Amino acid sequence: MIPLPQPDQETRFFWDACARKELMILRCNACHLYIHPPRPACRRCGSTDVGPARVSGRGVIHSYTVTAQPVPGYEPPFTVVLVDLEEQEGLRLVSQIVDVEPQDVRIGMPVEVTFRQASDDVWLPFFAWRR
């Protein structure tokens, strides 16, 4: 059983979007900075006028770790990746890569989001090799 996210007021939009197979990241409406993880105010300009914006789901692998330890719901080995989303320099998401053997994962590998169903109404964002 995969541990399911526990959405709160600030992260519910993210999980709701995943269930629609959309990747949404919080964005400042004043200066257009993307903010992840979500927080109530923009860290650049301080505005509290922030709201979800849809992103492409494309990015490149910034770094990765192959995990050999068993984790509930996941069959080791699996690869945890830090993905640089293309919308903004340094906009990074922690996820896992799917359908790529751990030894084939590379820093800089182009990837795109793919959603996998974890329960009736919960979908999780993973990343797949964008060839």
The only residue of 17, 25, 42, 111 in contact with Zn ion, by rule CB under 5 A: 42
The only residue of 2, 45, 66, 128 in contact with Zn ion, by rule CB under 5 A: 45
- Asked whether 11 and 37 are in contact (CB, 8 A), the reply is yes
Q: CA 104, 57, 9 angle in degrees (round to 5)?
A: 120
- Asked whether 61 and 105 are in contact (CB, 8 A), the reply is yes
In the region spanning residues 8 to 37, those forming contacts with Zn ion, defined by CB under 5 A, are 28, 30-31, 33
From the list 45-53, 68-76, 83-91, 98-106, the region that binds Zn ion by CB under 5 A is 45-53
As a whole number of angstroms, the distance between CA 104 and CA 26 comes to 32
The only residue of 12, 21, 44, 106 in contact with Zn ion, by rule CB under 5 A: 44
Residues that bind Zn ion (CB under 5 A): 28, 30-31, 33, 42, 44-45, 47
